[in-house]
Structure formats: C-alpha cells, structure tokens
Amino acid sequence: MPAETWRLLDTGVADPYTNMAVDEAILLEHREGKTPPTLRFYAWQPPTISLGYFQQLEKEIDVVAVRERGLGLVRRLTGGRAVLHDKEVTYSVVAREDHPLMTGGIRPSYLRLAEALALGLRELGAPVEIASGRKGGQDEHTSAACFDAPSWYEITCGGRKLVGSAQTRKGGVVLQHGSIVIALNVDDLFAVLKMPSEAVRQRLKDKFYHQACGLEDILGRRVEGEEIKAGIARAFTRLYGLEFIRGELTDGEKGRLEELRAKYASKDWLERR
C-alpha cells in the first residue's frame, strides 16, 4: 500500500457529548472532502456509559444508578453494546469506504484495523490475539455489556477481551471507534446494567472478570495512555505505510460541534430506541 498522509488528533479529555460530537464532525467534514483521513485519540470525564445506537435505554440501563455513581451517559452513533469508558484510551478512525483500509465491507475493514491495534499493543509487551469471530448464543442479560464476549476481530488476551470496537458507515465514509482498556471498572458497569435479580448480577459480574481484561492486568505494571497512542500510530505506519501529521480540529469541524453536542445531550437522542 503506498505511503499516504493521515491526520493524527489527540483531543484529550472531554465530556461524553463533546466526544461523540467530535467523532461525527470529523466524519461529516471528511465526507465533504474537507479533511484527510484521521486517527483520533481521546478520553472521558466523567467516566461514561456509552450505549449502542440500537440498544433500548429503558430495558438495559438503570439511569438512576448512573446518576448516583456520577457517571455520564450517551448514545453512540455506532452499534454494539454498552461500554463503560473509564481507565482507557479511546480511538477513532475516519476514512472513506473506498480507502484500501475500508474496502470489502465491515468485516475485512475490522480485521485490517484490528491488525494495527494488535501490533501496537504487542509492541508494549501484551501477547494479544485477534478473535476470529462471534461466539454462539448469549445467555440472560449478557447482551447489554460490550466486553462480555469477543465479536468479529476484537483484540483479546488469553481469550479475554481487551479492545472493543464499533463501526458505522454514512455517506460513503467509515467511522470506527473503540476502547483500549487500561484497567477495568467492573463495579460501576454492573451497578448500572439492569438485571432481573441481584443473584444474576453477581453471577454475570463474576463471569465478566474471566471474559475481559485491561492492559495493566496483562503487563503487571502501570500503563500510560501516551505509550498506547504512540504504539498504535507506529503500527499503522509499519503495516500500511501511513504518515501521520499531528493536527487540530479544523474550523469546519469546530463549527459543527455546538449543534452536534446538543444532539448527543438531548433526551430525544438518548431515548430514541
């Protein structure tokens, strides 16, 4: 694949509505040909539950518990299941559907991006693998939480999920974003998932510990976000010949943020399904 220039953004820490608004603003501006393909890194304050686009809020999330624990709550533009964004590096990739990384549909593009993510994490010493496909049926309420089982081409270590990603395609442009977990926060996640009983909650919580992990669990040391970001950017360069130029949001992207942020903060968007 010939070398090409991508933009590298590190937008730091922001509230959930801003984080989702920025991803969509990048998508919209790239669709209009105003920005290059972009790899973005970001983080969340407060720690936030993000709901998949098609999930039913009232069925799966205890909004009172979210508020009591001081967590944020937002619905993503992408599908998938609920994620607690806390001690992690969040990444997003935006490129056109006809870009070589994105051609062939969702599964081939997932695999290409997963290969770069996995290579970057291996550089840190994490012996990660790429899950080959979805597992069989789901039991009880496990469908509410993203990290309960690997789906297509997710990053795992010893069968435990480390990176969860989701993708959408709009107007010929792909947005994929995902969580690279540094340390799990299982207590807060399972406190806000609706369960039929406390016994079921505890059983699924115990099971979750065997199905998900964080980088600090794997490496047995403190892990800084900066080393994750640098390793992943290097991996994209090594695998796909991408040259990253550090940049900022454009005026066009910034100009979209107020309206998009209002959308993600609205009750209509949160409760839309």
Taking the C-alpha atoms of residue 265 and residue 263, their distance in angstroms, rounded to an integer, is 5
Residue type at 73? L
Taking the C-alpha atoms of residue 120 and residue 178, their distance in angstroms, rounded to an integer, is 14
For residue range 90-133, list pLDDT tens digits in order.
Answer: 999 999 999 999 999 999 999 999 999 999 999 999 999 998 76
Q: Which residues are catalytic?
A: 146
Contact (Cβ atoms closer than 8 angstroms) between residue 11 and residue 22: yes
How much is the pLDDT for 142?
Answer: 47
How much is the pLDDT for 154?
Answer: 87
Contact (Cβ atoms closer than 8 angstroms) between residue 91 and residue 26: no
**DSSP line for 194-259:** --S-HHHHHHHHHHHHTTB--HHHHHSS---HHHHHHHHHHHHHHHH-EEEEE----HHHHHHHHH
State the 10-residue block means of pLDDT for the chain, 273 residues long: 85 98 98 98 98 94 97 96 96 98 94 97 96 54 52 86 95 97 96 94 92 96 98 98 98 98 98 80
Q: Indicate whether this model's pTM tops 0.95.
A: no
Please report where in the chains the tokens 């796909």 appear, as a residue: 240
3-state secondary structure (DSSP) of residue 159: coil
Please report, for the chain, the start and end positions of each structural domain, with discontinuous segments joined by +.
Answer: 4-126+152-268
Domain spanning 4-126+152-268 has what CATH number? Answer: 3.30.930.10
How much is the pLDDT for 272?
Answer: 86
**20: CB partners within 8 A, 6+ apart:** 50, 74, 76, 77, 260, 264
For 61-213, where are the E strands, in sequence order?
Answer: 72-75, 83-85, 87-96, 129-130, 155-157, 160-170, 173-183
How much is the pLDDT for 134?
Answer: 55
Q: Which two tokens stand for residue 214?
A: 């964080």
CB neighbour class for 172 (10 Å; exposed up to 12, middle 13-18, buried from 19): exposed
